[in-house]
Structure 1
């Protein structure tokens, strides 16, 4: 089986994730005060493959169905890179409201030590800074660095195939009886912007999904991949006046329209 994600599986969810071939346009644009982060499909693919490699290496005791990965990253572009890595290994991303009691998880990933799940087999701290190469300062004992320990892993990953009925997202709503809600891989692939699960209902409540790339995106690239749309996300405290992400007029050009703002395109170092 090829190491290329685009050719490796027929899995409905994996087929929507970016591949190394998606290098000519942005897949995700993130806005926060004083910050603009743009990731092409190729860069996002590299991040998710490296994260998948870390998950496979560290989650040795995870169930055959895939690891449960608790993400306490709020509404942030790094959340999507970790979701992609989780889904490549067949796991489920676990999101929780602040007052939820989360069941056992295999891996916990957070921006701050207090956000880590105390009973997780593996704990990972991720720096917020877009160009950070490592966690700022000393890490707690046995906690991994969400950048420095990710970067050594390969830029490619052979995925699946996985059962479409398996959970892709597990959401703890934080309301009685606080029973976790699951979204399957097939359901998420069928409607990526569908039910409001994930970080938007937790610590990052109020986030706005301006645009997303899903089954309805125009498909005109050789090889069948979606083309002509990208995801735009912002922090809740960001102005609602956001640039539009339009379809390219021709392959290899910059997106038509839109406004450049302070920030940086992020590439794994």
Structure 2
């Protein structure tokens, strides 16, 4: 493999005769062994796409697969950010690549600013939606749709990051639950319990615990974990901040109860 970089020193094929990655019969075998579990298959694939390497297997992709992706989005000059957001899924990578190249209404500076927000927020945005109760597929779809909407309305958005979070959440909620944020309700009665707000976020099974909560409690906790103040969450959900604080308190109480049950073997 030519043009070796730092990531290449950690590649699963680093001790393999380079010819084996370029001879079709041997390359097919290597794709199912070395490439499948290689820790650097994403930068490897990005390298091949960026440099328009025509031959050989890179990142587990054949020449034909790379050629097809480049044909979908020939203007993309850097693939690493796209692949980090989508993994090596062809359809998702192609969709995001097309979205990024369809920004004719933005200047080069604005496009760079949009891409910076996209690369910084896409993965955390997916994690936020998963915390709110979404599956990975639904979360990725909503995050991608929100990014497309952000690109289309870039000139009118003053604070892109909170706008992106709110828009992605509402798109996910609408597509999955078919309800609006103002229709979120909960029916857990209040009861005095010790506040576990400091240690809840440190639990390894946090997402599983969150999914045991009523929808509104799970939602406000997801916003808090993503760094929102109650006032920001209230604005995103269209409800009074006092209601957000109340449901945060109830969510923490119920998370405490769930953790106590887990510790005692109740789950």
Q: TM-score, normalised by structure 2?
A: 0.26
Q: Which has the higher strand share?
A: 1
Q: TM-score, normalised by structure 1?
A: 0.26
Larger relative contact order (CA 8 Å, sep ≥ 6): 1
